[in-house]
Amino acid sequence: MYPDVIQQLVVKNDSKIIFLVMDGVGGLAHPDKGGTELQVAKTPNLDALAAKSSCGVFDPVYPGITPGSGPGHFGLFGYDPLTANIGRGVLEAAGIEFKLTGRDVAIRVNFATSDTAGNLVDRRAGRLATEENQRVCAKLRERIDLKDMNVEVFIEPVKEHRAAVVFRGDNLSGDLEDTDPQKTGVPPKAPTATSEEGKKMIPLVTKFLEQAHKILADEPKANTMLLRGFARYVPYPSMEDRYGLNALAVANYPMYRGIALLLGMKLHPITADIRTQFEAVKEQIGNYDFFFVHIKYTDSRGEDGDFDAKVKVIEEVDSLLPILTGINPDVMVVTADHSTPAILKAHSWHPVPVLLRAKYARVDRVSAFNEIDCIAGSLGRQPMVNLMPLVLANSLRLQKYGA
């Protein structure tokens, strides 16, 4: 993609665009279930929409690369995930509307459970209740002392087992690797730098972790913490600046609200469930051009390895889909930021299915929305970063290029 050219071609109009992002919906065939989660799920509405759409499979970052949620979403919105990548810590902090500055390094925290030997037994502390998270963060804030390191430290609860830590000071770096080993039965990793500047952060991070682990030692679940996604805050051009889009994010999980804020989207208040998310789009359709609707539980059920639960979430989305299609937007996209197959219990490198419904889209012969059928679609296989230009073109928001 050539973002400078796209930006030069953009024109504004009254068209409406809906992006329904079913996080991690891509899967793999389960040997005992008869297909992928999308294939097994009963999805008459998604299939009917696919039959009226251009379909394909897109690589969130690059073939063979397993994306995190940050790069996956940046690609969805047309920001090159390889050059616009940002650590998850900034996304976590932005998602709770923490006011970041240019002196900040933000880190995502996973509260976790370790045994008496210091080895991890649960990397998510039993998906700690948010109320417990808030109590633990308050406990840490009260007792952590890093004044002799010439930094301020902010410890903020996010949701369930997730929190955000922000170091504020001069000449700080985000060039550190995660302390999360991504498996149980081993201790957390020691802080490790990826650059000379990052090495200067090691004493600070080490002292912070030493204090935190002593404070948490008497906790039944959250007795340790894993640090992920170290990143300095860097501003990004907004969707309005790049595409002329007045965008609304209807997303309930903090990190995805953070992505939306970083790209200049407005945030709808958190809703109760998928139905109220879809109804919020219907209510706000006259006020915005672009709607980012994020469904989290397709991803979390995949990470839990719960194939059947992921299928149920897909079926719930399908049953409510007429709320969105009934709006009759000029462009409707259904896709994912990455694949999270239940049989892997993790993100994977597999491309994700995409459908693009628009008046001027070339309807192909695909009649079912899943990872296999969409391979035969007219959009073929291509990088996810190409999706936004296609959406803008189909909404008649791009002028002709050249004479």
26-40: pLDDT as tens digits? 999 999 999 999 999
The span from the CA of 224 to the CA of 149, in Å, is 22
Residues composing the chain: 403
Answer yes or no: are the C-beta atoms of 227 and 165 closer than 8 Å: yes
pTM: 0.84
Number of helices (H), then strands (E), in the chain: 14, 13
The span from the CA of 102 to the CA of 168, in Å, is 9
What is the band of 1 on the pLDDT scale with cuts at 50, 70, 90?
very low
The span from the CA of 322 to the CA of 327, in Å, is 8
Answer yes or no: are the C-beta atoms of 279 and 257 closer than 8 Å: no
Q: Could you read off the pLDDT of 69-91 as tens digits, one per residue?
A: 889 999 999 999 988 777 789 98
Spelled out in words, what is the top-level CATH class assigned to the domain 3-83+237-394?
A: alpha beta
Instruction: Please list the residue range(s) of the chain that carry CATH number 3.40.720.10.
Output: 3-83+237-394
State the average pLDDT for the chain.
95
